[in-house]
Amino acid sequence: MGHAHRVLIVDDDAEFRAVLREVLEDEGCAVVEAPDGKSALGVLRSAAAPELILLDLMMPVMNGWDFHPSIAGIPIAVLSGVGRMRPFGAMHELHKPVDLPNLLGLLHALDAPDQPATAIQLPLS
């Protein structure tokens, strides 16, 4: 990664947030956590904007679908253990348990947003 990314983890599972925090901090990220969408909105009002939001959908107080319209302009990766439709505009979906290479790929994509992801080469027939 080019520089330390600011990442906001929004998930009601404290253990899951702690594991994600550890992985992200090992990659040099600055991590902020929130247990639900309402708390996350408070974090967004009081701290520097993150470069990526990892957003759970199924949470008490304010779920991911209600939270999303409030944060236009910040890339979002939905964290989901269910196969439901992600909110409009979410850039990616990470299924729980999170696949570490996919998560790290998102971080690296933040460094080069104008470069396309590596394409899979299909054999010519």
Residue 54 belongs to a domain with what CATH number? Answer: 3.40.50.2300
55-70: pLDDT as tens digits? 887 777 877 667 765 6
Answer yes or no: is 75 within a domain.
Answer: yes
Select from 23, 21, 31, 86 the least CA-distant residue to 56.
86
Residue 1 counted as domain residue: no
pLDDT at position 124, please?
A: 38
**Model pLDDT for residues 110-122, shown as the tens digit of each residue:** 776 554 443 323 2
Structurally, the chain folds into a number of domains equal to 1
Q: Which residues contact 55 (CB under 8 A, 6 or more apart)?
A: 10, 11, 40, 64, 67, 68, 76, 77, 78, 79, 87, 90
Count CB neighbours of 19 within 10 A. 14
Stated pTM of the model: 0.76
Which residue segment(s) compose the domain that 60 sits in? 6-111
Examine residue 124 and state whether it is found in any structural domain, yes or no: no
